[in-house]
Amino acid sequence: MMEKEPRIYVLPTMMTAGNILSGFVAILQIFKGREGEITEHYYWAIIAILAACLFDVLDGRVAGVPVWT
In the predicted model, residues of the chain with pLDDT beneath 70 are 1-3, 5-8, 65-69
Q: What is the pLDDT of residue 67?
A: 61
State the DSSP string of the chain.
Answer: -PPPPPP--HHHHHHHHHHHHHHHHHHHHHHHHHHSS--HHHHHHHHHHHHHHHHHHHHHHHHTSPPP-
Q: What is the pTM of this model?
A: 0.78
Q: What is the pLDDT of residue 2?
A: 60
Q: Locate the domains of the chain by residue range.
A: 19-63
